[in-house]
Chain A
Amino acid sequence: MPSTARPHTPPARARWRRPSLQTLRQFVQLGVVGFIVVITGLHLTLGEESASPEAFCPFGGIETLYSYLTSGRMIDHTHLANLALFLAVVVTTIVARGAFCGWICPFGTIQEWIYAFSRWLQRRIPPLGRAMSALRKRLNPRAARGSAVGPTLGQRIDHWLSYGRYLVLAWFLGATIAYGSMVFRDADPWATLLHITTIQMSIGAVVLGVTLIASLFVERAWCRYACPLGATISLLGRLSPLRIERAESACTSCGLCTQRCPVGIDVARADAITDLRCITCLRCVNECPRPDAIDLRLALPGTRPTATPAPTSGD
């Protein structure tokens, strides 16, 4: 029998939601991905007469930096634009920490989209959603219980795997200097993705496939475990005076910040997020239900957050 109750229609003012900072971030990400798609399309159409999409990867700047400084030459498949972009990443990172990864990197954006698609699928397909939820609870019981002592199994695995990107960085730096060529290009999932129309079975294709599939289960899998540019940014980011700080006195320990972190940082148990994995996407800041519990602050690198006065009352 149909209900006779009048459907609830929220007033127009209530329906409109002010665009959040995350909307702005996604807009920037979309713009960068769109730019790369256009450049790639033009290159496919016009060939060498147009800009190479590989020229817009700052990682190429790292790869050719040694050759450029020692001989004045760029190694194959790199351009002056790669060096300029790497310089831009260095400047941005020294001031604004991991902002390039969180706000600009198109490969990180694509992984975010894939993970968002996975979450959408999990909502649409209940058995899949239940299976993924069970897996998450097994690996991260904190998400279910709200609090726990010590890192969870999932966090420990994530932490150890995160050193993988430093190994990749060390390997490629040594090999590039030794051989004077882009040794990483054959395994680079981003370079492979840029040449997706002519893709062949190769190490790069396998790495790309594994990365995209892993992104269905782990947000930003490549960024977390293998990205050498991310490793470089992490190390440079230590110089940045900007960091996210959490005020213990205002925090309700709801754990939302930890749950929303795209790179798996346990934000809810830190005073200052100096974790090298932080990409400063500010999701934790935006998700926090308490306005002053967590925010972005300007502080001297290496200093500890100052103690916050106890609240006069709390919930």
Chain B
Amino acid sequence: MTTQTTAPRARGSLRISGLAYAALILVLFFGTIQVAQYAGLWSASDKLMPDGSVVQLSGTDPAEIKGWMTIEAVVDAYHVDRAALYARFRIPVETPPSTALKNLEAVAPDFSVPALRTWLTAQAAP
């Protein structure tokens, strides 16, 4: 006959129950996210600011340009000639100005958002 034995640790470490561990994980992970949200360190969309307002182009920093923005918005904010933009990136003239930048790569192989940023920076340089 065998006897159930236990093996208590003499000292140095404390047993943590699985349920306590599970609770600890959830509190730490989701609690930290909650704190970040309260602190304003939370935005899950390129289009919305942390306060919920829509991102607006300032027209001074091309780094702010995102793929969801339209040709029209960029042209208006940075005061560049639309025809020059179309010519530089060989965008088909029939492409409507309401097209999102991220959709341009399919019709204009020369176009990319980083390339547009570089071009706008060069345009703004004295």
Binding site for B on A (CB under 8 A): 21, 24-25, 28, 47-52, 55-56, 73, 76, 79-81, 83-85, 87-89, 91-92, 95-96, 99-100, 103-104, 181, 242, 245, 247, 249-250, 280, 282, 285-286, 291-293, 295-300, 303, 305-309, 311-315
Contacts and interface: CB of A to CB of B under 8 A. Distances in A.
A242 B21 contact: yes
Contact of B26 (A28, A51, A293): A28
A306 B25 CA distance: 26
16 contacts: A21-B19, A51-B45, A52-B45, A55-B43, A79-B43, A80-B42, A85-B33, A99-B25, A250-B5, A295-B15, A297-B16, A306-B9, A306-B10, A308-B9, A308-B10, A314-B2
A87 B18 CA distance: 24
A158 B121 CA distance: 50
B97 interface: no
Contacts, number: 154
Contacts of B83: none
Contact of A298 (B11, B13, B33, B37): B13
A103 B6 CA distance: 29
B36 interface: yes
Interface in B36-81: 36-37, 41-47, 50, 63, 66-68
Chain B, interface size category, equals: 35 or more
Contacts of B9: 245, 247, 297, 305-306, 308
Contacts of B42: 80-81, 84
Given A305-B12, A306-B9, A50 B45 contact: yes
Contacts of B126: none
A73 B19 CA distance: 40
B32 A92 contact: yes
Given A52-B45, A55-B44, A81-B44, A92 B10 contact: no
Contacts of B109: none
B28 interface: yes
B24 A52 contact: no
B85 interface: no
B91 interface: no
A101 B117 CA distance: 37
A250 B2 CA distance: 13
A22 to B, nearest CB: 9
A220 to B, nearest CB: 18
Nearest to A250: B7
Contact of B22 (A21, A48, A50, A89): A21
Contacts of B96: none
Given A76-B66, A96-B24, A298-B13, 11 more contacts: A28-B26, A50-B45, A52-B45, A92-B25, A297-B15, A297-B16, A303-B12, A305-B13, A306-B11, A312-B5, A314-B5
A29 B50 CA distance: 28
A56 B44 CA distance: 8
B14 interface: yes
B15 A91 contact: no
A174 B16 CA distance: 39
Contacts of A92: 25, 28-29, 32
Given A81-B42, A103-B22, A309 B7 contact: yes
B3 interface: yes
